[in-house]
C-alpha cells in the first residue's frame, strides 16, 4: 500500500467522527436509485456501481479529500473502493457494513431494508 493510502475499509463510526470533526469527506453511494430512495446518508452522492467507471474522471479530488464508498452491506462498496485504488485513487475507502451498519450504529433514523 502506498504511504499516502488509507486502510481499504473504514467503520461508520469513524466516518461520523470525521464528519463531526469538520473533515471534508466525499461520500459516494453505489447502490441503485430505488435503494437510495429508501435510505440515504445526508450528503452522499448517488453513483450506481455500474456508472462508476464512466464517472471516474470526476471522482479524484484534487484537494485530496478522502472518498468514502457506501452500499447496503459493504460488499459492492469494497469492490468499488478496490477498483478505484487500482485506477490511482489511493484515498478511496469502503464503509464497512454499509448503510445498514450506519443505521444500526450511527443514525437509527436511517431506515433499514432487505
Enzyme catalytic residues: 71
Tell which residue, 43, 39, 23, has the closest CA to residue 31: 39
C-alpha torsion sign, points 63, 65, 66, 71: negative
Whether 93 and 68 have beta carbons less than 8 Å apart is answered as yes
Which grid cell is 71? 452500499
Looking at residue 66, the DSSP 8-state letter turns out to be -
Which grid cell is 6? 488509507
Amino acid at each position: 500500500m502506498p504511504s499516502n493510502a488509507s486502510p481499504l475499509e473504514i467503520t461508520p463510526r469513524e466516518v461520523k467522527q470525521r464528519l463531526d470533526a469538520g473533515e471534508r469527506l466525499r461520500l459516494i453511494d453505489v447502490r441503485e436509485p430505488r435503494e437510495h430512495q429508501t435510505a440515504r446518508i445526508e450528503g452522499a452522492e448517488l453513483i450506481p456501481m455500474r456508472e462508476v467507471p464512466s464517472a471516474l474522471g470526476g471522482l479524484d479530488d484534487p484537494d485530496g479529500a478522502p472518498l468514502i464508498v457506501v452500499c447496503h452491506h459493504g460488499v459492492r462498496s469494497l469492490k468499488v473502493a478496490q477498483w478505484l485504488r487500482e485506477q490511482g485513487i489511493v484515498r478511496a475507502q469502503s464503509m464497512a457494513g454499509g448503510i445498514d451498519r450506519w443505521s444500526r450504529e450511527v443514525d437509527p433514523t436511517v431506515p433499514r431494508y432487505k
